[in-house]
Structure 1
Amino acid sequence: MPVTSATAPSGPLAALAGNAWLRFAARRLGRLLVSVWVLLTFAFLMIHLIPGDPVRAALGVSAPAELVEARREALGLNDPLWQQYADYLRGLLHGDLGTSMLTGLPVSQTIGERLPATVELAGLAFAGAALVSVPLGLLMAVLTRGGRRRPVELAFTSGSVVLAVVPEFLLAVGLVYVFSVELGWAPVAMRQGADSYVLPVLALAVGPAAILARILRVETLGVLQAEYVRTARAKRLPDPKVYLRHVLPNALTATITLGGLLLSTMVAGTVLVENVFAWPGLGGTIVGSILAKDYPVVQGVVLVYGLGVLLVNLLVDVALALLDPRSTIRES
């Protein structure tokens, strides 16, 4: 009888199946594309799920019927739903987010003028939270390991809990009252120089920094009990080398995951903080657009915020894969 031998598959599919990093990239890209499609569809349907006529609601009940009909025709709201969806996707591919009902300006222009201020504020706040929480969490773990220094541990855990539960806008109001109204050390509102960044950044960064520091302390305490740390100590390696080379990278995995979630919520938290400080970002834009019922602007801002969250999640996945590739790229 003829003997058949199994041959391994060859070609691009075989290369994809045999490379863990390519499979990881394919999975993440697939999830990203599906998430983006869901976000785009939700943003498109948002204006159609509003009860009544959104154009009439935006222009007011006293607006002439001819003006309402002309604005509906200009926005394409009289076309069939499938055609509106196709035109919406086609416009997004060309960078067209629609036109404001009130100002008549392109939504992309409005967002382009306001987005840099929001990204700058959220980026500075996250960088400040990371720069404070990582050394603080590591230091607290080293000082309180093995049940040492109970008063220090109690003060740290209690303080981090209190700071973590205070809402950003409430902290922002308190900072304005103390440092702007009473002491006069910082401007009350607006972006008027380097000192005007201090209070908004603090309002956004204090809570996430407290959470990250507490999580990093707990993770570091667990890593300090690992066998490879004991081996490093047995080899009489210097303490800074043990902490920075063996302890910190292994303790950062959960912290990076939580940090990505906090950065996503921090971007959303800028909405309230920007309104407290009259910051010229997307926060004031979306609140004003909601109050004025300028739905195309709201639609565009929601889309930008959603894409920002998806991008942050993708960067977190890549960072985890680079930091701990064995556990990340092997997941199903």
Structure 2
Amino acid sequence: MTSALAASGLRSSPWLSFAGRRLGRFAVSLWVLVTMAFLMIQLIPGDPVRAALGLTAPVDLVNARREALGLDDPLWMQYLDYLGGLITGDFGTSMTSGLPVSDVIGDRLPATLELALPAFAVVIAVAIPLGVLFAVLTRGGRRRGGELAFTSTTVLLAAIPEFLLAVALVAFFAVQLGWFPVAGSEGAGSLVLPIIALALGPASVLARIVRVEMLSVLGHDFIRTARAKRLPARLVYVRHALPNALTATLTLGGLMLTGMVAGTVLVENVFAWPGLGSTIAQSILQKDYPLVQAIVLVYGIGVLLVNLTVDVLLAVLDPRSTIRES
């Protein structure tokens, strides 16, 4: 009786149903990600321990390392041990340094977040106001020159790869002008160029998306009705038009922002930033597969969290879509 009432209450509450669906999808996606990360070492041709230690490593050392990593156990036992380790925060041991992988990630993750989170904030803070502004200025075919300049500039900036943009920023602002450090983490000034390199391309793309969606919303009947009531322009644009434009914008923008996760790897290597991006590049070269495996898992979880956050924001902006979703 109690379980039936609970199930009835879940069905009667669209928000609880929404939360259950989203958390269920997140759990399934997380399980697939963990399984693929586990299979990464299994699918590597040859012996990953021999590849990491080198061809000249003694056989006893190779066998001891394989035994320590549990690679001689049956596959199902390795998988269960891997899941159990993840639950307890044990990501394994680095093949090159011998340190726990969780310690390496704990040391490097804050540096990556120090770049990624401000870059996300810059993208949102720049792209949304800029897209709204140019939508208002160019609506109805007005200011063709401004529209052409906006479109051309954002297309050009979005087409520049993060790696190339980072190199250009270093060459001009750090080497030639000397305004910022060339590389490394040396205070707040060393954050400026990496954040610009990460945020400029995504901000350009998102600004174009916001402008297109805002122009579409401004042509709807309810906007004409709001203007006919002589509501202040700020109220029309911010309260009535912007929430409707952001619904579609967040759907596309969320997919685009996940690409910034990969961008941190390239940018960190250009600026020698002591984060996960530079660590995974070094680990791949050193064939430190447990460390690569764990960092890939951390990046994948970051992507899943971004997608989950976008889903929640969409539900807040447009609750009706949540109620209608089956």
Interval containing the TM-score (normalised by the shorter chain): over 0.9
Question: Do residues 152 (structure 1) and 146 (structure 2) align?
Answer: yes
Superposed, 1:143-182 pairs within 5 Å as: 143-182=137-176
Alignment-derived partner of residue 89 in structure 2: 95
Q: Secondary structure at the match of 2:274?
A: coil
Alignment-derived partner of residue 244 in structure 1: 238
Alignment-derived partner of residue 128 in structure 1: 122
Question: What is the percentage of aligned positions where both structures have the same residue?
Answer: 70
Superposed, 1:295-310 pairs within 5 Å as: 295-310=289-304
Question: Do residues 201 (structure 1) and 195 (structure 2) align?
Answer: yes
Deviation at 1:328, TM superposition (A): 3.3
Q: 1:61-112 CA deviation, whole Å, 9 max, x = no partner?
A: 0000000000000011111111111111111110000000111100000001
Q: 1:270-316 CA deviation, whole Å, 9 max, x = no partner?
A: 00000000011001100000000000000000010011111111111
Q: Do the aligned partners of 1:114 and 1:281 also contact (CA within 8 Å) in 2?
A: yes
Q: Do the aligned partners of 1:321 and 1:329 also contact (CA within 8 Å) in 2?
A: no
Structure 1 outlier segments of 4+, above 4 Å: none
Alignment-derived partner of residue 21 in structure 1: 15
Q: 1:192-230 CA deviation, whole Å, 9 max, x = no partner?
A: 111111110100111111111111011111111111111
* Amino acid paired to 1:39: L
Alignment-derived partner of residue 136 in structure 2: 142
Cα pair distance change 1:329/1:97, threshold 3 Å: farther
Structure (1 or 2) with the larger CA radius of gyration = 1
Structure 1: gaps of 5 or more residues: 1-8
Q: Do the aligned partners of 2:22 and 2:308 also contact (CA within 8 Å) in 1?
A: yes
Deviation at 1:167, TM superposition (A): 0.5
* Amino acid paired to 1:326: R
Alignment-derived partner of residue 6 in structure 1: none
How far apart, in 2, do the equivalents of 1:328 and 1:23 lie? 9
Alignment-derived partner of residue 12 in structure 1: 6
Instruction: Report the number of matched residues.
Output: 324
Partner of residue 206 from structure 2, selected from 212, 217, 221: 212
Alignment-derived partner of residue 106 in structure 2: 112
Deviation at 1:258, TM superposition (A): 2.4
What TM-score results when the alignment is normalised by the length of structure 1? 0.96
* Amino acid paired to 1:321: A
* Amino acid paired to 1:138: V
Partner of residue 252 from structure 2, selected from 246, 253, 258: 258
What TM-score results when the alignment is normalised by the length of structure 2? 0.97
Q: Do the aligned partners of 1:274 and 1:281 also contact (CA within 8 Å) in 2?
A: yes
* Amino acid paired to 2:292: V
Alignment-derived partner of residue 215 in structure 2: 221
Deviation at 1:10, TM superposition (A): 4.8
* Amino acid paired to 2:22: R
* Amino acid paired to 1:250: N
Structure 2: gaps of 5 or more residues: none
